[in-house]
Amino acid sequence: MKMKLIISGIMLTLLCLLSGCDDKLEVQQAYDFSLTSWYLQKTIASDETVEIRLTLNRNGNYEEAGYQVGYIQMEGSGEVYDKKNVRLVNREMQPLDSIAELDSSDPCHQVFTLFYHNRSSKNAEIKFVIADNFHQERELDVSFQSETETGLKIGQ
């Protein structure tokens, strides 16, 4: 009888220990990220084009993560396009991997270049938006002061 109790106690203990283990491997899929730019000029003239070098900084690499990029023209008027002159549409997202010459050699620091062509004599403010397929979204505000509004003349 004592032997049955001891064996039952051991079985019960083992059952409790084994049922507490989970053999499923959890893979982190959604990593935090940010969008940064390299140094940008402060002023812009009407009909001038400026280069905007951007970097998607990811805190981890999950192969199935997908990113989309877009922009919103907050102030002024202009166009944004990539190195192959493919124009991005204001307030529309497009896959990041469709941007010409996207440098993906380091998946945690993807570098790409966009250009902004100013079509206004007013200040320009652009909000770049990047989102992943896990519904995380980050923004980067870029602004240029109009040379006509600062009192500067072209060529000074």
Question: Are β-strands 33-37 and 67-75 bridged in parallel, bridged antiparallel, or unpaired?
Answer: unpaired
Q: What is the pLDDT of residues 62-71, one digit of tens each?
A: 888 999 999 9
Q: What is the pLDDT of residues 17-34, one digit of tens each?
A: 666 656 666 666 789 999
Least confident of 12-26, 39-53, 81-95: 12-26
- Judged against a pLDDT cut of 80, whether residue 14 lies above it is answered with no
Contact between 135 and 67 (Cβ < 8 Å): no
The model's confidence at residue 156, banded by pLDDT at 50, 70 and 90, is very low
Single-letter code of the amino acid located at 101: E
Q: Which residues contact 148 (CB under 8 A, 6 or more apart)?
A: 45, 46, 121
Nearest C-alpha neighbor of 131 from the set 72, 82, 87, 49: 72
